[in-house]
Amino acid sequence: MQAAGGATLNTDDTPATGAAPRASRRAVSVLVAIALAGLTVDQVVKHLSVSMLDPQDPVRVLGGLVYLSLVRNSGAAFSLGSDYTFVFPLITIVVIGWITYMTLRLRSMPWAVALGLVLAGALGNLTDRLFRAPSFLHGHVVDMFSLFAPYGERFAVFNVADSCLSVGVVLAVLLELTGRQRDGTRLPGNAKKHEQREEAEQR
């Protein structure tokens, strides 16, 4: 875009040449939307689980592939570290701060999805830590999904926030391994390999 006299103006998503890339409004909006959606679904499912599930009577679903089992977890994701409940909210706050910092140059849509999912998972379980019994910072997280057995005998009982967190982390690792950067660029070596692969497929 040009102003009168030929001076070049930049749009919101296009940084000036040589300047550090600014965050894309679209990417940040996607991150926030995914985080809010994941947090909302997580809290609604937890509310319904507390209201409708009996801890002593798991609900068998899909022929026993999934059990709906109400469990209150004092540990981290998948019931890890139950003796250090107070530490997890502090770690979560650091993670949220890190994600906020990452958004300053966020221009990649895949990274927006990954970070949005991680943020949804972090906020979902942090909400439980802050506002559920037994006390502030020591609240027990509500879990409800158990695979293959009713009480986590085969796989740890988890919730929607845990799922968001896990998928987000896996996606972030894949993006790092393929050289995709948060500013929308790709590392030179990975970009060259990608071009060579595309050329080979076209032959």
Prior bond of 21 cis (ω within 30°): no
Q: What sign results for the dihedral spanned by CA atoms 97, 134, 132, 162? A: positive
Q: CA-based diameter of the chain, in Å? A: 76
The reply to whether 83 belongs to the active site is no
Q: What sign results for the dihedral spanned by CA atoms 153, 154, 160, 163? A: positive
Q: Is residue 70 within 8 Å of residue 55, measured between CB atoms? A: yes
Distances (CA, A) of 192 to 113, 115, 203: 25, 26, 17
Integer Rg of the chain from CA: 21
DSSP H or E segment with residue 51? helix 25-52
Which one is catalytic: 12, 13, 83, 162? Answer: 162
Which one is catalytic: 42, 128, 143, 183? Answer: 143
The reply to whether 162 belongs to the active site is yes
Q: Is residue 152 within 8 Å of residue 82, measured between CB atoms? A: no
Catalytic residues: 143, 162
